[in-house]
Structure 1
C-alpha cells in the first residue's frame, strides 16, 4: 500500500512539473515574440506557484518593464524583500527597475545595497554577480564576484571574472584572472587553453599574445609551476615558434623525467610545419632520454624522414647504419618501409625497394602494419607502371579494412591508379564514394581528382587532353618533374582553348614552385587569369601568387594585392578566412 501511495504522489508531482514546464515554454515563446502582456499573465502564475524561482521572477519583472509598469514591478519586489529580507539579490532587480526609469541615483543606491549584503551573507555573492552580468553591469558583477571570493576561500570565481573582463575588452586583466584561476586548480588547464585560444593567434607580435605571455612570465617568476611552462609551450606552438616551445617542454621534462610526451608532440608538429631543425632536436632528445624502445625507434624513424625531406647527402648511410646497429626486425619495421619509399621516389631504385618491402612484410606484427606494407608495395608498382599488380594490392587492403582510414586510403589509391591507366569511369566511381565518407584530407583529394576527370572527360570519342594530363600527373607522382613539365607543355599547346588548358598551366606552375622557378610559375598563373578571369581556378591562383610574393619573393605589397582580390572578388572561397587574416597582418592591423 505504501508503494502505491508513493507512486501516486510521484505521478501527481510529475504531472504538475510537466504542466508547469509547458506553461514556461509558452511564456517564453510570448516573451521572445515581444508579446509581453500575454507572457506576464503566465509568468505571474508561475511566480505564485514557485515564489523562489528567480528565472520566473526576472522574466515577470522584465515584462512589466517592457510595458512601462515600473510601479507594479517595484511593488512586487518590495513586497518580496519585506517578507524575505534575506533575498538581498532582489535589490539588483529594484536597482535596474529604477535605471530603466532613468533614476540613476536610486538605481545605484539599490546596487550598493546588493553589494553590501554580500558582507553579511557571502552565499548570495554568486547570485548577485550573475544578475549584474545579466543586466550588463559588468563592473558591478566583477565587484560582486571578488567580494564573494574574499569571504569564501573555497569559492573560485576567477573563471567568471576572466570572462567578464573579456567581454569588456580588458584583455590584460582577463589573462591575469585566467592564470590566477588556474593557480588555484590546474585541472582546468585545457579549459583555460580553449578560452584563451579565442583571443590569441599565430602572430607573436599580436597585442593579446604579448599580454598573455607577459602575464605567464610574471606568474612563472613569482610562483614557478609546471602548468606555466605547459601554457608557454602551448602559446609558442600556436605562434609556430617551435624551438621556444621545445625549451619549455625540456623544462617540464627536468621536473618529470618520465614525461617525454610534450617533447614528442613538439617534434611532430615542427616536422609537419617543416621546421626540421627543431623537429630533429626534439627527436634527438627523445632518443637520448627514453627508456622505451617504441619511442626510441619512432624518433629514429622521424629523424630519417627529416634527412630525406632535407635531401641530406648521407641518407643512404644513415639507413644502413640503423640496420647495422639494430637489425632488420619488428623494431625497425617503420624504418624499412621508409627506406623502400626513399629508394623508390628519391633514388629511382624500385626493384630494390620491392625486395625490402617483401621482407618487411615478414616483420609486421599486426594486420594494420601488413596493410601499410601492401599499400607501399602498390605505390612502388605504380611507380614502375605496373598498374594491374598495384590494383591487386590496393584492393586487398580496401577489402580488409572497409571502414578504416587505411581502407579509405586504399580506395583512393585504386581510383588514382585507375586514373593513371586512363580508366576514368572506374576512377570516378571510387572517388564518388570517397567524397562523402572519407577523412577530410582524403575527401579533399578525392573531390579534386573527381572534378578534374568530370570537367575534362573525352566526349563522343573526341580527345580532350585528359589522358595526356593523367600521364603528366603520373610523372609528377613519380618525382619525374622535368618530364611532367614537358608533357604538360604538350597539353597546353595541343588543347589550347579547352578546359584542360588552365588545369595544365596550374599543375605546371605547382611543379615550377617545387623547383623554385617562381617567375615561371607566376607567368603560368597570369595566363590562367587571362584565359578566364572568372574561372574555377582563379581564387586558387590568387592565393598561390599571394603566398609566393609573401613567402618566397619578399614582396608584401604584391602579396596584399592578391589576398585582397580573394577578399573582395571571391567571398565564398575556401581561402577567404586565411587571406583576410594574412592581409590584415601585412597591413599591420592588430588581430584579435
Structure 2
C-alpha cells in the first residue's frame, strides 16, 4: 500500500512538472491564450501556490484581462497575508492608469513593515521586479529604521546605481561594508565600474570624499585599505603608499601588501617610488628573506638607472650583500643578478661564468639550479659560445619537462640556433612552442617562427635574415648603436625584402631604448604607411600611440591610434589594452 502511495505521488508530481513546463513554453513564445488554459489548470489544483498565481496574473495582463487578474489577487489576499500580492494588485491598477488604487495597495504593502520588518526582503524584491524603485528604496529604509540590525544597503546601492545616483550608491555600499568586511572585495569590483583612472573624474572625487570622511569618523583600517585601492586605480601610488604605511604601522603584521604595491609601482615605470617602498620594507622587516628580497629589488632598480660612474658602488653593494647573507638558496636571486651585472654591465663574462658555476656546486635541486643555468646560457650567448649555451638550456628542458621554465629554455634553444644562423633547427623548436602553456613564450615563439618562415620563402639563401639575426644578437649584447647601424644596412641593401618591416620595428624599439623618440616615430609611421596590410602594422600603431601618450605628450594623437586598433584591428593582441587606454583618454569609467 505504501509503495502504491509513493508511486501515485511521483506520477502526479511528474504530471504537474510536465504541465508547468508546457505552460512556461507557451508564455515564453507569446501563446498567451494557451498559457492561460495551462496556468488555470495548475492554479485550480493549488490555489495557494504563489508562483502559479503570479504566472496566471501576468498571463491575464498580457491579454489585457485586468479585471480577471484583479479578482484573482483580491481573492488570494483575502485568504493569505502575502504583501507582494498587494504590490501585484497595485501594479494591475497601474496598468489601467488607476494611480490612486495602485498607490493605496503599495502603501498597504509598506504598512506591513511596521508589524513585520523581516518582510522587507520579499516586499522590496517585488517592488524591484515591477521597476517600482522609489517604493523599493522606501521599503528597505523603513525596515532598517524599524529593525536596525537589518542591513539592506547592498540592495539600496544597486537601486541607486540603476537610478544614476552615484553618491548615494557609494554611501550605501560603504554603509553595507561597515558591518560586512567579507564583502569588501566585491564592493571594490562594483566601484570599479563607476570610477576612472583619471583622479579628476567626478565619481572618483565623490568616492574619495566619502572614504576620507569615514576615516575621520570611524578609524577602521578597512577605510584606509579602500582609499589605498582607489589611489591604485588612479595610478597615484605615492598616496596609496601613505595609506599602506598607516595600515602597517597600526597592525605591525605582514608587509605583503606594501611589497605588492612596490612591485606595481615598478611595473608601472615609477622606479623612484618603487625604491622608496622597497627601502621601507628593508627598514621595517625582521624577516631575513623579505629583507633580502627588498635589497635585491633595490639593487635591480639602481642597476637599471645606473651610469658607468655608478657601477663601482653597485658592485660593492652586491659583494657586501653576499658577504652578509651568504651564498645559499636564500640569496639565489642576488647571485644571478650579480652574475648578470658582471657580464652585461662590467663585461666580466669569465668572472660571471665562474661565479655561477660555483653556485651550481652548492648542492641545490633542479628547480633552484634552473635559473642559474638559464643565466649561464645567456652569458655564454653574450660571449657567442653558442654550443655551450645550448647544453645548459637543454639540461633545463630535460630535468623540468613541461614546466614554464622548461618552455622558456626551449625558446632560448631556438633563439640561440637562430643567432647561429641554424634557422631550420630553430623552426623545429618553435613549432613545439606554438602550443606553449606560457602565453608570453607562445607569443615570442610565434613571432620568431613567422620571421624565419616569411623570410625563408622570399630569400632561399636567407642572406637578409642572417644580417638581421646578427643585429638582433648585438641588441641582446647591449650593443645598441652597432645593432641600429647594422639594421640600417638591411634597409639600404634589401629594399624589396619582406624583412624590411621587421627591421624598421626592431630599429624603432632600439631607438626608443635610447630615448630617440622622434626617430622611432618615423620608423613606426613608415610601417603604417608602407606595410598597412602586413602583420606588424598593429605593433607599429600601438607603439606609436604609446610614444604620443607617454613621451611626446600628445594625447589626442594617441587616442586616434588606439581607436584605429579598436575599429580596424580587432584581432590584435593590443586590442584590450588599446580599448582601456582609449577610454581613459576619453575620460570614461573603467571596468
**CA-CA distance at 1:279 after TM superposition:** 1.4
Correspondence for 1:112:
107
Q: CA deviation at 1:399?
A: 2.6
Answer with 137-146 or 59-68: which moved more: 59-68
- For these two proteins, the number of residue pairs brought into alignment is 587
Contact 1:364–1:370 (Cα < 8 Å) also in 2:
no
Q: Give the drift of 1:45.
A: 4.5
- Judging changes above 3 Å, is the alpha-carbon distance between structure 1 residues 318 and 567 closer, same or farther for their aligned structure 2 residues? same
User: Which deviates more, 265-274 or 466-475?
Assistant: 466-475
Take 1:289 and 1:11, find their aligned partners in 2: how far apart are those partners?
72
Aligned to 1:167, what secondary structure does the other structure show? Answer: helix
Residues 1:70 and 2:42 aligned together:
no
Task: Determine the structure 1 residue equivalent to 2:145.
Answer: 150
Quick check: 570-579 or 372-381, which moved more?
Answer: 570-579
Listed one character per residue, the Cα deviations across residues 117-144 of structure 1 (whole Å, up to 9, x for unaligned) are: 2222222210111111122222222221
Encode CA deviations 1:68-101: one digit per residue, 9 max, x unaligned: 22222222211111111x2011111112222222
1:171 to 162, 166, 174: 166
Deviations 1:565-585 (A, max 9, x none): 334443444434544454454
Q: Which residue of 1 aligns with 2:30?
A: 34
- Structure 1 residue 489, shift from structure 2 partner: 1.4
Q: Which has the higher contact order (CA 8 A, sep 6+)?
A: 2
Kept after mapping to 2: 8 A contact 1:207/1:590? no
Alignment CA distance shift 1:37-1:346 (3 Å): farther
Alignment of structure 1 residues 212-227 onto 2, 5 Å: 212-227=207-222
Whether 2:97 is the aligned partner of 1:98: answer no
The Cα shift of 1:356 comes to 1.8
SS in 2 for 1:60: helix
1:64 and 1:467, CA in 2 relative to 1: closer, same or farther beyond 3 A? farther
Normalization by structure 1: what TM-score? 0.91
Relative distance call for 1:59 and 1:154 in structure 2 (3 A) is same
Is 1:238 the counterpart of 2:233? The answer is yes
Deviation at 1:53, TM superposition (A): 5.2
Which runs of structure 2 are paired with 1:459-474 in the superposition (5 Å)?
Answer: 461-463=460-462, 465-474=464-473
* Alpha-carbon distance in structure 1 between the residues aligned to 2:455 and 2:491: 13
How far does residue 422 in structure 1 lie from its aligned partner after superposition?
A: 3.1
Matched residues in 1 for 2:430 and 2:335: separation? Answer: 30
**1:192 counterpart residue number:** 187
* Cα displacement string for residues 469-498 of structure 1 (whole angstroms, at most 9, x for unaligned residues): 222222222222112212211222232122
Q: Quick check: 2:61–2:69 contact (8 Å CA) kept in 1?
A: yes
Distance 1:564 1:334, change over 3 A: closer
Deviation at 1:318, TM superposition (A): 1.6
TM-superposed deviation, 1:364:
6.5
Residue 321 of structure 1: SS of its match in structure 2?
helix
Bigger drift between 404-413 and 117-126 goes to 404-413
Q: Distance in 1 between matches of 2:453 and 2:32?
A: 57
C-alpha distance in 2 between matches for 1:29 and 1:498:
63
2:359 is matched with which residue?
A: 360
Residues 462 and 330 (structure 1), Cα distance of their counterparts in 2 relative to 1, 3 Å cut:
closer
Q: What pairs up with 1:61-460 in 2 under 5 angstroms?
A: 61-84=57-80, 86-311=81-306, 313=310, 314-363=313-362, 365-458=364-457
CA contact (8 A) 2:292 2:331 kept: yes
Provide closer, same or farther for how the CA distance between residues 144 and 310 of structure 1 changes in structure 2, counting only shifts above 3 A.
same
- Gaps (5+ residues) in structure 1? none
User: Under a length normalisation based on structure 2, what TM-score does the superposition of the two structures give?
Assistant: 0.92
Deviation at 1:218, TM superposition (A): 1.0
Greater alpha carbon shift after TM alignment, 55-64 vs 327-336: 55-64
In the alignment, the residues of structure 2 paired with residue 8 and residue 34 of structure 1 have an alpha-carbon distance, to the nearest angstrom, of 39
Q: CA, structure 1 residues 487+165, in 2 after alignment: closer, same or farther (shift >3 Å)?
A: same
Aligned-partner Cα distance in 1 for 2:462–2:128 = 69
Distance apart, 1:382 and its partner CA:
2.0
Unaligned runs of 5+ in 2: none
Distance 1:10 1:358 in 2: 78
Contact 1:126 / 1:148 at 8 angstroms: preserved in 2? no
Residues 458 and 497, structure 2, Cα contact 8 Å, conserved in 1: no
Which digits, 9 at most, give the CA deviation of each residue in 1:319-366, with x for residues without a partner? 122123333233322100111122222233222221221122234754
CA RMSD of aligned residues (A): 2.6
Q: Per-residue deviation at 1:111?
A: 1.7
**For the structure 1 residues 100 and 321, does the alpha-carbon distance in structure 2 shift closer, same or farther, using more than 3 Å as the test?**
same
Does structure 1 residue 545 correspond to structure 2 residue 540? no
Q: Contact 1:457–1:464 at 8 Å: present in 2 too?
A: no
Give the Cα–Cα distance (whole angstroms) in 2 for the partners of residues 332 and 558 of structure 1.
46
Could you tell me whether the CA contact under 8 Å between 1:333 and 1:363 is conserved in 2? no
Give the match for residue 58 of structure 1.
54
For the residues of structure 2 that align with 1:441 and 1:454, how far apart are their CA atoms?
20
Distance 1:485 1:10 in 2: 85
Q: SS of the counterpart of 1:436? A: coil
Q: Indicate if the aligned counterparts of 2:86 and 2:109 stay in contact, CA closer than 8 A.
A: yes
Do the aligned partners of 1:345 and 1:478 also contact (CA within 8 Å) in 2? yes
Residues 367-403 of structure 1, C-alpha deviation per residue, up to 9 Å, x if partnerless? 3212221222222222222223222222222233233
Question: Which secondary structure does the structure 2 equivalent of 1:332 belong to?
Answer: helix
**Following TM superposition, by how much is the alpha carbon of 1:316 offset from its aligned partner in structure 2, in angstroms?**
1.4
